[in-house]
Structure 1
Amino acid sequence: MADVVVTGSGGDLGRWVVGSLVRAGWRVRCLDHEHPAEDTPPGVTAVETDLTDAGETLEAVLAVDPEAVVHLAAVGPQYYAPSRVYENNTLAAYHVLTAAGEAGADVVWTSSESVYGWVFAEEQVFPDALPVSVDHACRPEDQYGVSKAAAEATAESVARRYDVPVTTIRPSWIQHPGAYECTDADGEDVVDNFWSYVDVRDVVRLVRAALESPPDGEETVHAAAAENYVGRPTRELFEEAFGSVPTPCDLAGTESALSTANAGAAYGWEPEYSYHEAATDDVGPWDEW
């Protein structure tokens, strides 16, 4: 049984990742800003950790000599002052990923589609091409997107400096079975991520795939569902929202604006879940899934 450190373990994604790793036989060390109120299950230890503190983070990671580190911790722009969002996310990523490098651990972590600059933009940004690949230019202007772009630079440097495999996942709007927020959104008004989404279980599957088949160096991949959440042709949605579509545009029907082709090539991963069924799925609590 191998050790894995998971940051942000108490979050909406972290709890699903921890549950999946425990069932797969990993010993999980959870690092979060608060100690969980409930008892941890067998195979899980939890340490309250300030990830913006370099020494504290290094101690917490090296204490178990982990085989892998999964970094999910971050704060969003909806809840905190801009400087706090940038400082927290940038420092936490630097400290956690550097500690993983010092441990010689495989790294999987979550960036965001916000690095492209359109999710929290003051004015809607038009993509250069469709579908959007991970090679698309990153032009963030908000504190969250900039913090994730800075963290991606850290991830690349850690892969080079320590010669450890690093997988950077850029998830779309993460949805939870039985509680899909995107299906309640107005597709005509909510265009800041071009009607893309991803089921939390597909993100967990991608985390697991990256841990099971680490890349050579750093690999960046999208996590997105196969189609948009509106149920109408994506090209049509762009034409209505913007008056045109990017050129080139190679989309068929309701295909997602985010390409996951590289996740398929690197890890054999394809999205399994769709809002057609998952929006009303009843799969039980995260720790039973």
Structure 2
Amino acid sequence: MTGPRGGDRGAGRVLVTGGSGAIGAATATALHRAGVEVSTLDVSAAGPAPHIRHVRCDVRDLDGMIEALAGADAVVHCGGLASDRPGREHDTFSVNVAGTCTLLQAAVRAGVHRVVYMSSINALGCVGGGRPEYLPVDDDHPHRPASAYQISKHLAEEACRQFAGQHGLTTICLRPCYVTHPDAGPVSARPAGPGPADLFAYLDIRDLTAAVQAALTAPLTGFHAFLLAAPEPWNGADPARVAADYYPDTPWRHPASSLVDCRRAGNELGWTARHQRVAAP
């Protein structure tokens, strides 16, 4: 990418928030292996690896975030709560929405021009307790978030859109589906995987970190959002049959290998999912 501190296209120096979490740690490790000068930030005192610089800070701490972003060319924002917390919805909004707004403000103050935000298909509200308006779901699907977590992802994306328009940031929101990990242990001990409520859609963590690297270097400006999913349903069935069996009243717009249309990520990021499911459904 063309960063604020030079014209070389590349990731440059990158801060990964949420670096102690599963996705943040995998992202930081993948960037480090790719030769990126990466550091991490988390409320946890422990980082993903001894050889990766780690900062202990809450993403809602504006002064701390500005200091952590000093000298960075980009930030990958994985910090946040990963699911609903019944009875603690205020925590979800505080960390996921206020935290993202604080990070964006800190990026403006620190002169960081590119923010890659780890959003979710949940921002659309068409999974979990929601229903898609059509299939395959694409990045233009109307937002109908219902739960606190879904609303927080939607609002964080809107903050990214606003800061891109008002401050000239490049904000890229990645919308992965159910994330799987190849080193999650024996198949028998793993979660059952995504079902009908999740469109049987999933993404291998290795493909997610590849999407992050693509988002850091793609020649894009302004606000963008990209759905990310593997090229087949988790249950291995034909997508049209899955749609007919589980979503009989949902319009089926065009044939696809998945119930989630990721062509925009392919066209604009040059990204393709390469890993199939790692656990039997």
TM class by smaller structure: 0.7 to 0.9
Deviation at 1:37, TM superposition (A): 6.7
Deviation at 1:201, TM superposition (A): 0.4
In the alignment, residue 260 of structure 2 is paired with which amino acid? L
Aligned partner of residue 198 in structure 2, secondary structure: coil
- Which of 102, 105, 115 pairs up with 1:95? 102
Match of 1:29 in 2: 39
Given the superposition, is the C-alpha separation of residues 19 and 181 from structure 1 closer, same or farther in structure 2, using an over 3 Å criterion?
farther
- Please give the alpha-carbon distance, in whole angstroms, between the structure 1 residues aligned to 2:142 and 2:188: 28
Deviation at 1:178, TM superposition (A): 4.0
Given the superposition, is the C-alpha separation of residues 174 and 73 from structure 1 closer, same or farther in structure 2, using an over 3 Å criterion?
same
Match of 2:161 in 1: 156
Deviation at 1:90, TM superposition (A): 0.4
In the alignment, residue 263 of structure 2 is paired with which amino acid? A
Equivalent pairs, count: 266
Extract unaligned runs of 5+ from structure 2.
1-10
Given the superposition, is the C-alpha separation of residues 162 and 38 from structure 1 closer, same or farther in structure 2, using an over 3 Å criterion?
closer
Deviation at 1:239, TM superposition (A): 2.7
Deviation at 1:78, TM superposition (A): 4.5
Instruction: Give % identity.
Output: 27
Match of 1:83 in 2: 90
- Please give the alpha-carbon distance, in whole angstroms, between the structure 1 residues aligned to 2:115 and 2:72: 10
Map residues 218-237 of structure 1 onto 2, 5 A cutoff: 218-237=223-242
Q: Deviations over 1:60-116 (max 9, x none)?
A: 223xx2111100111033556111112110011111122223323311111111112
Say if 1:6 and 1:69, in contact at 8 Å, map to a contact too. Answer: yes
Match of 2:62 in 1: 54
Given the superposition, is the C-alpha separation of residues 112 and 38 from structure 1 closer, same or farther in structure 2, using an over 3 Å criterion?
closer
Q: Deviations over 1:229-281 (max 9, x none)?
A: 10112232233234x152243234xx211111000110111110001xx449x
- Which of 214, 223, 233 pairs up with 1:209? 214
In the alignment, residue 268 of structure 2 is paired with which amino acid? A
Q: Normalising by the residue count of structure 2, what TM-score does the alignment of the two structures yield?
A: 0.87
Match of 1:258 in 2: 260
- Please give the alpha-carbon distance, in whole angstroms, between the structure 2 residues aligned to 1:38 and 1:60: 17
Given the superposition, is the C-alpha separation of residues 256 and 21 from structure 1 closer, same or farther in structure 2, using an over 3 Å criterion?
same
In the alignment, residue 89 of structure 2 is paired with which amino acid? P
Match of 1:12 in 2: 22
Q: Which moved more, 1:217-226 or 1:32-41?
A: 32-41
Cα-Cα RMSD: 2.3
Say if 1:133 and 1:259, in contact at 8 Å, map to a contact too. Answer: yes
Q: Normalising by the residue count of structure 1, what TM-score does the alignment of the two structures yield?
A: 0.84
Say if 1:82 and 1:143, in contact at 8 Å, map to a contact too. Answer: yes
Aligned partner of residue 182 in structure 2, secondary structure: coil
- Which of 197, 204, 208 pairs up with 2:202? 197
Given the superposition, is the C-alpha separation of residues 93 and 101 from structure 1 closer, same or farther in structure 2, using an over 3 Å criterion?
same
Given the superposition, is the C-alpha separation of residues 264 and 112 from structure 1 closer, same or farther in structure 2, using an over 3 Å criterion?
same
- Please give the alpha-carbon distance, in whole angstroms, between the structure 2 residues aligned to 1:245 and 1:256: 18
Say if 2:173 and 2:224, in contact at 8 Å, map to a contact too. Answer: yes
Say if 1:178 and 1:279, in contact at 8 Å, map to a contact too. Answer: no
Say if 2:20 and 2:48, in contact at 8 Å, map to a contact too. Answer: no
